[in-house]
Amino acid sequence: MTEILSINNLSYKRNLTSILKQVNCSAESGSIIGLLGANGAGKTTLMRLISGAAKGFHGEISINGNTQDIERKQLVSFSHQLDGVNSHDRMEKIAEFYQAVYPDFSESAFKRLAEFLELDLHQRLGNLSKGNRMKFIIAITLSRQVQLYLLDEPFDGIDSMSRKKIIASILQWKPVDATILISDHHVDDVANILDAVLIIKDKKMVVSEKADKIREEYGQSIEDYYESIYTGGKEND
């Protein structure tokens, strides 16, 4: 397997406060990776740094050998939360905007995903339930044809039926050689589909393991392993 993402000695501060310290990790192409950590651990920040949305870090982030922010932006599809988008706009119009901005946006993939997720594209963004808004974000994000997708907490506040639908869409629509990094603090949602696990705690990447190793060699479920890390089962300094 080839390595799509490599992070070396990444440190990041905001307003003189350290948010991430000496993070090292990598990701193999074609895998689904869980980025786990408690609230405020730094998951969103790390995704913003990988995608090139946040700048000013120390260390190196490389995607397929590309290390510049501008290059990474083109290679990564990041599930930003549509905060700046007009809530009166209909989903179909927002999708057109994405198509205009991202040359790799596939209209046909978007339509198939929207249908699979049972989205009515005539609806206005502001009228969507939390679950449908997240499904729309997933559809937009996975419609770009890139090698690395970053899904930030796609199950936050989502009911179990919608969670299952979102997981099914990830499994069905992921290109074989594409890599998906999914952040979550309720690992139960995604444990079964993960190939690898990254865990952030106390500003550091304390775990970077293959999921099978945790299940087979450590004899633990991903959920129990994650809990043991957070309750002090593993040294993190």
Ligand X SMILES: Nc1ncnc2c1ncn2[C@@H]1O[C@H](COP(=O)(O)OP(=O)(O)OP(=O)(O)O)[C@@H](O)[C@H]1O
Question: Partners of 186 in the beta sheet?
Answer: none
Rounded distance between C-alpha atoms, residue 42 and residue 198, angstroms: 12
Shortest CB 17 distance to ligand X, Å: 6
Query: Is 204 one of the binding residues for ligand X (CB under 6 A)?
Result: no
Dihedral (CA of 7, 174, 103, 1) sign: positive
Shortest CB 62 distance to ligand X, Å: 21
Give me the 138-167 binding string for ligand X, x by CB under 6 A, dash otherwise: ---------------x--------------
DSSP per position, 138-189: HHHHHHB--SEEEEESTTTT--HHHHHHHHHHHHHHS-TT-EEEEEES-GGG
Give me the 179-198 binding string for ligand X, x by CB under 6 A, dash otherwise: ------x-------------
Query: Which range of residues in 38-46, 88-96, 121-129, 170-178 is near ligand X by CB under 6 A?
Result: 38-46
Query: Is 41 one of the binding residues for ligand X (CB under 6 A)?
Result: yes
| Residue in 4, 10, 19, 178 binding ligand X, rule: CB under 6 A | 19
| Residue in 2, 39, 160, 231 binding ligand X, rule: CB under 6 A | 39
Complex with ligand X: residue 14 or 164, whichever CB lies closer: 14
Rounded distance between C-alpha atoms, residue 62 and residue 144, angstroms: 20
Complex with ligand X: residue 53 or 121, whichever CB lies closer: 53
Query: Is 214 one of the binding residues for ligand X (CB under 6 A)?
Result: no
Rounded distance between C-alpha atoms, residue 179 and residue 7, angstroms: 15
Query: Is 45 one of the binding residues for ligand X (CB under 6 A)?
Result: yes
Shortest CB 49 distance to ligand X, Å: 9
The values of phi and psi at residue 122, to 5°, are: -80, -15
Rounded alpha-carbon distances, angstroms, from residue 19 to 1, 48, 72, 205: 31, 13, 21, 12
Query: Is 55 one of the binding residues for ligand X (CB under 6 A)?
Result: no
H/E stretch holding 71: helix 69-75
DSSP, res 192? G
Which residues of the chain form contacts with ligand X (CB under 6 A)?
A: 14-15, 19, 37, 39-45, 153, 185
